[in-house]
Amino acid sequence: MIYTSRTKKMAVIGDPIDHSLSPFMHGKIIEEHGWDALYIPVRVAGGETSRFAEAAAALDFAGFNATMPHKLALLDIVDDLDPAAAGYGAVNTVRIRDGRMAGYNTDVDGLMAALRRRGAAPAGAGILVIGAGGVAGALIRGFSDQGAAAVTVVNRTFEKARKAVDGAARAAALEWTDDNLAEAAAQADIIVNCTPLGMTGVNGNFSDLSFLDRSHALVCDLIYNPWQTKLLTYAAARGLETMNGMDMLIFQGLLSFQIFTDWELDLRKEYEYLYPLCRAQLK
C-alpha cells in the first residue's frame, strides 16, 4: 500500500495496546474494500491523552479509538460531545474534522447490534449486569434508555453499583450474594458479565456459577479471550444461549469506522466477513 497526504489516518490508543484486535479488524475492512486508509495502534500512557489528541488533530487524522485508560479523560478533551457519550460517561471514538474533535461512544450501540443479531432486544427485557465499571456504567444507561423492564446490577463493590444505577430508569443495585445473584438471574432475559473474571491473563474467576441454574437468559460475556469463558461453558452446558465479547467488539469497531470515514458499511455483511477472521486471529 502506498500512502499519500489524502490517506485517511486512524488509530487506536491505549496502554497496554498490543493485545488490541482493532488494528487487525480495521485493517481487514480497509483491505477488503481497497480503501486509501490506515489504522495504527499507538501506546499512549494515562495522562498523555490530551497530548496525543492534539497531535492527531495536527497530523490531520480522521479519528481514533480509545481504550483503557483514556475513555473518561476524553470526555473533557473533545470539543463536541455526542449526547449519548455524555450520558454513558465515556468516549471510545473521536472523530476529527478541521482540527475539531467530536467524542462518541460505540460500545453500547455495538452490544445492542450484537444482541439484535441474536434476536434479543433490551426493550421490555429483564437484564442482569454483573460489574459496575466503565463499560457496565454505559451499558446500564443504554439498557435503561432503550426501555428495559428492569436492570439489576450486582458488583463486588456495592457502592459502585449504587452509583452506576443512579439516574438510570428502572435500574437497581443489589449486594453480590449467592441468593441475590440467583434471584436476579432467574428473573433476567439477558445476563451480561462486565467484569474481567475468567479473562486470559487475569487472576480470578467465578467460584460458583450455580446462580445460573434457574435462568432462561441469553448469557453474554464481554470477554472474547478465552473464546468460551467458564461462565459461558457453564451456561451452554445448561442449554442457555451464549454470546462472547467478539460480536460487541466487531460491531463497535464497524460503527467507529463509519464515524471516522463517513463511508457506509453493510454492518451485517461486514460482521460475517470479520467474525471468522477475528476468531482465527485469537487461536
116 belongs to the binding site for ligand NAP (CB under 6 A): no
136 belongs to the binding site for ligand NAP (CB under 6 A): yes
Sheet (strand 150-155) strand order = 171-175, 150-155, 126-130, 190-193, 218-221, 242-243
By beta-carbon proximity to ligand NAP, the closer residue of 216 and 265 is 265
Give the angle subtended at the CA of 117 by the CAs of 115 and 119, to the nearest 5°.
Answer: 75
204 belongs to the binding site for ligand NAP (CB under 6 A): yes
**Distance of closest approach, residue 32 Cβ to ligand NAP, in angstroms:** 21
63 belongs to the binding site for ligand NAP (CB under 6 A): no
Which residues are CB-neighbours of 34 under 8 A, at least 6 positions away? none
171 belongs to the binding site for ligand NAP (CB under 6 A): no
**DSSP string spanning 120-155?**
--STT-EEEEE--SHHHHHHHHHHHHTT-SEEEEEE
Return d(Cα 124, Cα 143) in angstroms, integer: 10
Return d(Cα 118, Cα 215) in angstroms, integer: 18
Q: Are 20 and 67 spatial neighbours (Cβ–Cβ below 8 Å)?
A: yes
By beta-carbon proximity to ligand NAP, the closer residue of 23 and 57 is 23
150 belongs to the binding site for ligand NAP (CB under 6 A): no
> Where in the sequence numbering do the catalytic residues fall?
71
Return d(Cα 170, Cα 147) in angstroms, integer: 9
The DSSP call for residue 188 is -
In a 10 Å sphere around its CB, with 0-12 CB exposed, 13-18 middle and 19+ buried, how is residue 65 labelled? buried
Query: Judged by CB under 6 A, which of 65, 93, 144, 155 binds ligand NAP?
Result: 155
252 belongs to the binding site for ligand NAP (CB under 6 A): yes
231 belongs to the binding site for ligand NAP (CB under 6 A): no
Query: Judged by CB under 6 A, which of 122, 191, 245, 257 binds ligand NAP?
Result: 245
**Distance of closest approach, residue 106 Cβ to ligand NAP, in angstroms:** 9
**Distance of closest approach, residue 283 Cβ to ligand NAP, in angstroms:** 18
**Distance of closest approach, residue 133 Cβ to ligand NAP, in angstroms:** 2
Query: Judged by CB under 6 A, which of 25, 151, 222, 243 binds ligand NAP?
Result: 222
Closest residue by beta carbon to ligand NAP: 133
By beta-carbon proximity to ligand NAP, the closer residue of 229 and 261 is 229
Return d(Cα 16, Cα 12) in angstroms, integer: 11
Query: 158 by DSSP, 3-state: which?
Result: helix
Binding flags for ligand NAP, 172-201, as an x/- string (CB under 6 A) = ----------------------xxxx-x--
Give yes or no for a cis peptide into 69 (omega within 30° of 0): yes
Residues at the interface with ligand NAP (CB under 6 A): 107, 131-136, 155-157, 160, 194-197, 199, 204, 222-224, 245, 248-249, 252
